[in-house]
Amino acid sequence: MARIVMKFGGTSVADVTRIKNVARHVKREVDAGHEVAVVVSAMSGKTNEMVGWCREAAPLHDAREYDTVVAAGEQITSGLLAMTLEDMGVTARSWQGWQLPIYTSNAHGSARIADINGDELIKRFKERGEVAVISGFQGVVKETGRISTLGRGGSDTSAVAIAAAIKADRCDIYTDVDGVYTTDPRVVPKAKRLDKVAFEEMLELASLGAKVLQVRSVEVGMVHNVRIFVRSSFDKPEDIDPLSNNPPGTLICNEDEIVEQQTVTGIAFSKDEAQISLRRVADKPGVAAAVFGPLADASINVDMIVQNVSSDGKTTDITFTVPSADYARASEVLEASKKSIGYESVDGATDVAKISVIGIGMRSHAGVASSAFKALSEKGINLRAITTSEIKFSVLIDEAYTELAVRTLHSLYGLDKA
């Protein structure tokens, strides 16, 4: 017998028919003798609808009232799933974030989980065999008692944090894909599903463009050593053996659980990038702080940074990337700070893409990046910027070459045959 947290996203609970399918997945695990907590998202599209209502009601709305509205989607789903399970003969009860409680910071709309009390859930597992159906994405601010939400994708974080709180054996994230792939199968049809991925690798994949898991959920899993299993909710529930040691999906786990490690695990890409270049900036101490301090104050995330020294040795060019959604705002911040920075001109581009190569095996293998640069150059792909770390490197290229670059690198590292 195991203790399992099962999380179902919006597409998995998009309507009552799919909620009934989810209930069959849950019943399968209960019938196998497992203790089960379920975390659910709002039905697909409902959160966007509620966000639209908030904007229509008041463009400059109170963030606390915004959370009150958008948290309702998960409440509806949890109630419907609990009803369905009861109708199937499974003892179940719905829980909202404030009822457990799940305490969060007071940053409404993007709160972070501070503490979860899982004692009552564990007690009900033991005494009643009761399935807990929990609304994801939401919590409560302890000091004010106000409902809070965790930001987009927050139900993943809810599920992993709850798994840590109740000391679950694993956290199953059910989604519309059957695991984590070497890259997006829509771009590379030969992409392979990975059996296991290390936490560090998944953290890089999630932050660099892979959409399977929310970044904060992976962080929580790594910190609390919660094994995360990514699997499909569209597999037939009756076709899955709940006692199998190797059901279909991808396990996110500690590096030491992975016996054989590929040099490269996966290729991630993001087209949501913008490049900004400041020309002829004075080359003196403090200039980097003058550039990036105001951007940080405006909560604009800067990623790739390249600095060149000009031929006269007195000025420098600084190139960096920001999310494309923040491009206009970043340009305004830099224009307002022009006097304190002292640059001559600014160039920008939004038709760029970031391609990232990730793998813990890169720690012990030389020449991984150089072989990529050579392969891309042979395809006529120019590199605008490069950044590296211990287990990944990223290149910035023209967006038009995105698919060609991904396919080239996927084949270069043998991932077509992984």
Which residues are documented as binding site for ATP? 7-10, 175-176, 181, 186, 211-212
As a 3-state breakdown, the chain gives helix, strand, coil percent values, each rounded to 5, of 40, 25, 35
Asked if 191 contacts 180 with a C-beta cutoff of 8 angstroms, the reply is no
Q: What burial class does residue 72 get, using C-beta atoms within 10 Å of its C-beta: 0-12 exposed, 13-18 middle, 19+ buried?
A: middle
Which residues are documented as binding site for substrate? 47, 74
Rounded Cα–Cα distance for residues 173 and 201 (Å): 17
Rounded Cα–Cα distance for residues 79 and 84 (Å): 9
Phi, psi of 91 (to 5 degrees): -70, 120
Asked if 160 contacts 220 with a C-beta cutoff of 8 angstroms, the reply is yes
Residue 114's alpha-carbon distances to 111, 150, 165, 213, in angstroms, are 9, 11, 11, 20
Which residues are documented as binding site? 7-10, 47, 74, 175-176, 181, 186, 211-212
Angle at 209 between CA 71 and CA 164, to 5 degrees: 50
Assign residue 50 a region (left: φ > 0; alpha: ψ between -120 and 50; beta: otherwise).
alpha
Asked if 410 contacts 379 with a C-beta cutoff of 8 angstroms, the reply is no
Assign residue 367 a region (left: φ > 0; alpha: ψ between -120 and 50; beta: otherwise).
left
Q: Point out which residues pair with 234 in neighbouring strands.
A: none
Residue 397's alpha-carbon distances to 74, 265, 307, in angstroms, are 39, 21, 17
H-assigned helices in 61-208: 63-70, 72-87, 119-128, 154-165, 199-207
Assign residue 245 a region (left: φ > 0; alpha: ψ between -120 and 50; beta: otherwise).
alpha
Residue 125's alpha-carbon distances to 33, 75, 96, in angstroms, are 11, 21, 17
Strand 170-175 relative to strand 228-232, pairing = parallel
Rounded Cα–Cα distance for residues 304 and 352 (Å): 12
